[in-house]
Amino acid sequence: MNEQNPTLVDVLDPEEQAVADYLLDHPDFFEKHATFFSQIKIPHTLPTGTTSLIERQVDILRQQNQKLERRLTELIDAGRGNDRLLERLHRVALYFLELEQTHHKPPALEKLASLLAVDAVMAALWAKTPQQLETFRVLEARPSSLLPDHWGTGHPYCGRMGDTLGEHLFGARHTDLRSVALIALGYPDAEVGFIALGLADPDHFRPGLGTQYLNRLGELVSVVLGMRPPA
């Protein structure tokens, strides 16, 4: 334990001296308990060349403010991102309405890729649907050996994509694609196919990404295919 400071002995009562001695014996106290400074009020008086507790308190509050500003920026960016996604989905809906007015003209996948701001779009059906779309590939069965597990209606898959899956989905001309979103088409117990979105950015469609936007896209395309939600 540090020897009592003779100056402090004259001005502090025993309890105050005990606090002072503890702080002298534990110089790292304020580093370990930084939040302490946001809960106390300290007058701003200090000798030249030293850092007062009030200055330390201001520093802690400044750090907290910076964290809040970063969090606010993240929320603003997320909001703007959601606005962009909604705008893309809106444009896709308008595109489908336009096709509906032109005698059910099939959608161009390149056009969908442009509207959705992705590098490639692929769509496949397990069998013909009430409204067959020429640009959709028709598969005999769900290629479960190539598609990831644990995805289906209402549960889009997002993740990185290897060469084998990439070539199967998008063909040999899209070997640069490294992340994919797979969206089931149809409804629970009535899945009719899927739509795949591919991007060269390996981290764009990452696990844990919010999928509400992708679910809405799947529902929209399902309606275009003539599917209706179960009663």
Cβ atoms within 10 Å, residue 110:
11
Contact, 181 vs 207, CB < 8 A?
Answer: no
pLDDT digits (tens, 9 = 90+) for 145-201: 666 666 666 688 888 888 888 888 888 777 889 999 988 888 777 777 888 999 999
Contact, 113 vs 170, CB < 8 A?
Answer: no
Give the CA diameter of the chain. Answer: 97
160: part of which helix (H) or strand (E)?
strand 157-160
Cβ atoms within 10 Å, residue 153:
20
Q: Which of 55-59, 69-73, 119-123, 220-224 has the lowest mean pLDDT?
A: 55-59
Q: Characterise 189 by phi-psi region: left (phi > 0), alpha (psi -120 to 50), beta (else).
A: left
pLDDT digits (tens, 9 = 90+) for 101-120: 776 666 778 888 999 999 99
pLDDT at position 8: 44
Q: Kindly report whether the global pTM for this prediction surpasses the value 0.75.
A: no
Beta bridge pairs of residue 198: 120, 180
Domain spans in the chain, listed from the N-terminal domain onward: 6-66, 106-224
CA distance 203 to 159: 8
Q: Give CA separation, 83 vs 5, 7, 24, 89, 183, in Å.
A: 63, 64, 55, 10, 21
| Closest by CA position to 38, among listed 16, 54, 17 | 54
| Closest by CA position to 96, among listed 116, 82, 81, 124 | 116
Architecture of domain 106-224: 2-Layer Sandwich (3.30)
Contact, 42 vs 57, CB < 8 A?
Answer: yes
CA distance 137 to 216: 21
